[in-house]
Amino acid sequence: MLDSDLARLYECANGTKSINLAVKRHINRFPERFMFQLTKEEFFYLRFQSETSS
């Protein structure tokens, strides 16, 4: 699940900004493995896969 998915799930008015800000402000509340950051190549591949399956 990506931050954009969470933003849609929680109906955040300003998109991923709210989700990412909440995590940064309360980083100690999240398990170490809660988040990760995709490389540009991984993001491109993931995006390509979702467009292909649509």
Full residue range of the structural domain in which residue 35 is found: 3-53
Query: Residue 43: its pLDDT value, please?
Result: 86
pLDDT in tens, 1-52: 788 888 999 999 898 999 889 888 998 998 888 788 889 999 888 887 766 6
| pTM recorded for the entire structure | 0.57
How many CB atoms are closer than 10 A to CB 19? 20
Q: What total of structural domains would you count in the chain? A: 1
| Distance from C-alpha of 54 to C-alpha of 12, rounded to nearest angstrom | 24
AA letter at 42: E
List the structure tokens of 17: 């900004």
Task: List the beta strands (DSSP E) in 1-54.
Answer: none
Quote the pLDDT of residue 23: 86
Query: Which residues, 6 or more positions from 12, have their beta carbon under 8 angstroms from its beta carbon?
Result: 6, 18, 19
